[in-house]
Amino acid sequence: MSKKEPKVAIVHDWLVGYAGGDRVVDAMKRVFPDAVIYTLVYDPKNMPEHFKSYDIRTSWFQKVPFSNRLYKAMLPLMPRAFEAFDLTEYDLVLSSSSSCSKGVITRPDAVHICYCHTPIRYVWDFYYTYRDNANWLAKLVMPGQMHKMRIWDKCAADRVDYFIANSHYIAQRIKKYYRRDSDVIYPCCHINESPFVEKEDFYLTVGRLTWYKRVDLAVQACTRLNKRLVVIGGGGELDKLRTMAGPTIEFKGGGLSDEEVRSYYLRAKGFLFPGEEDFGITPVEAQSAGTPVLAYGRGGACESVLPGRTGYWFKEQTVESLADCIERFERDGVACSKEEIREHSRSFSEERFERELKEYCLRRMADWTNDHFDPRLFQAFVKSIGIYPVGSLVRLTSGRLGVVVEQAPAALTTPVVKVFFSTKSDLRIPAELVNLAAPGATEKIVAREDPGQWNFPDMNELWSGFPGQVW
């Protein structure tokens, strides 16, 4: 990569299991394929195979024995680890943060955009809950350590130039604890495209079995109502949950393949989501299988579940409230069909995330260019992420050539193109406007063409107007 081309770094808290935040990093890498990934610790055994082809650089903590398991206990050391990364060669730094990755130090003229999954939960609003559920040693050291972490975390947030929140719920928390505005881009979720099957008579919950997920509510509610519940996931709460579970509760563990989990999503008649999450990937995955979601009415689930249409919210985080919600669902059902529920889930697709992230980065880089950034570098950045100005000659996936005639502010990578030439037949064709940002659009720009090589005499006329005949 030449010095004239922008260099991008992606910084993530840790890569030890392919969860929601790791999927975001994967999508960031697809948007910026030449980016280098920096992280506290990396466990390739627990990540998808294709991560081995990525340039992933870890902190000094990677060399600590058992670092892949002990990293969360080393919170007081994380700030030093991230501040030790030398990012001076990068023009754009994207941090994906629910912990300390936003605390990296960048060049004065570089742009630092933080995709914030949450302000550190055990430092801020969930501190007392975490403290009350900790062992005696953690309770002893937490007050002093968390005080220091709050000071550092606020300083780290001040180093960020622009914040992206993964939900409006998180945007409110960023405003509360960091006193910063943020823009919302929902995270990416895998959309289940498998054919629909007949729903079976069981409920489903998926996730790590830890106390704040509140799987206990689902287990107790279904036991009380004598409803079949399938629990997928492993974790420290498993033995406790087995103790309170009745004969209708099935524990499948955490070793199922993606295909097996998707099969359960497709067959379940309802998905139970009793925890309070920053966004919540699993409710979207359930909806992409056409499965209604019964979720606690706080946190990110309020932004992905449409009450009465794709599921219901229950008001209180209690067994009684969830049980009432289940009974209401079985009595009234939901207004949307399986197909409509899946269509709603597409609002959170990987393609949508990548497009919005690309356009957001472009806009913020443009803002930064006015005062800090080399304009030539910005133009190289525009070219590298596929922005096509009005008047550009482009080739579409169909093989047709067209000229960009309109660049919608909300869809810089998917403009309106006037197609007029077929490379397959090597002939002019009737001019047609194609909106690449329209719902259901199948065409994409695959390349920018050199007008000089094609020698179209009416290029300017083509993009400046749309008469009946332009040649």
CATH assignment of the domain containing 34:
3.40.50
Distance CA 154, CA 340 (A): 42
Whether residue 266 lies inside any domain: the answer is: yes
Confidence of residue 335 (pLDDT cuts 50, 70, 90): very high
Are residues 176 and 210 both part of a single domain? no
Strands 445-448, 393-396: parallel, antiparallel or unpaired by DSSP?
A: antiparallel
With bands split at pLDDT 50, 70 and 90, how would you rate the model's confidence at 29? very high
Residue 375 lies in a domain: no
Residues 24 and 147 in one domain: yes
pLDDT single digits (tens) 174-210: 999 999 999 999 999 888 899 999 999 999 999 989 8
pLDDT the model gives residue 114: 98
Write down the pLDDT at residue 468: 40
Report the CATH number at residue 207.
3.40.50.2000
Q: Looking at the predicted structure, is the pLDDT value of residue 412 above 90?
A: no
Q: Is residue 393 part of a domain?
A: yes
pLDDT of residue 374: 64
* Residue showing tokens 């099969």: 263
In a shared domain, residues 401 and 450: yes
- What are the distances in angstroms from CA 430 to CA 81, 136, 461? 60, 76, 15
Tokens of 377: 């570098």
pLDDT band at 466; cut points 50, 70, 90: very low
- DSSP assignment letter at 77: G
In this structure, are 306 and 343 located in the same domain?
Answer: yes
Tens digit of pLDDT for each residue in 301-319?
999 999 999 999 999 999 9
Residue 341 located in a structural domain: yes
Tokens representing 146 are 């968390």
**How many domains does one find in the chain?**
3
Same domain, yes or no, for 240 and 167?
Answer: no
Q: Do both 168 and 218 map to the same domain?
A: no
Backbone angles phi, psi at 229, to 5 degrees: -130, 130
Domain finish residue from 347, 373, 398: 347
Q: Is residue 374 part of a domain?
A: no
Residue spans of beta strands (DSSP E) within 1-69: 8-12, 36-39, 56-58
Amino acid 408: pLDDT: 65
Residue type, 217: L
State whether 48 and 169 are in the same domain: yes
Q: Which residue has 């287990």 as its token pair?
A: 219
In a domain, 354, yes or no: no
Q: pTM of the full predicted structure?
A: 0.76
Cα torsion 203, 209, 213, 218: sign: positive
Are both 261 and 164 inside the same structural domain?
no
Instruction: Measure the CA–CA gap between 258 and 263, rounded to whole angstroms.
Output: 9
Same domain, 211 and 176: no
Is the same domain home to 13 and 162?
yes
pLDDT at position 368 over 80: no
Alpha-carbon gap, residue 90 to 11, rounded angstroms: 12
Look at residue 366 and tell me if it is in a domain.
no
User: pLDDT value at position 469?
Assistant: 40
What is the band of 471 on the pLDDT scale with cuts at 50, 70, 90? very low
CA distance 419 to 439: 19
Q: Are residues 398 and 295 in the same domain?
A: no
Q: Are residues 324 and 271 in the same domain?
A: yes
Domain extent at residue 411: 388-471
- And the tokens for 73? 């206990």
* 231 domain-assigned: yes
Confidence of residue 65 (pLDDT cuts 50, 70, 90): confident
How many separate helices (H) and strands (E) can be counted in the chain? 17, 18
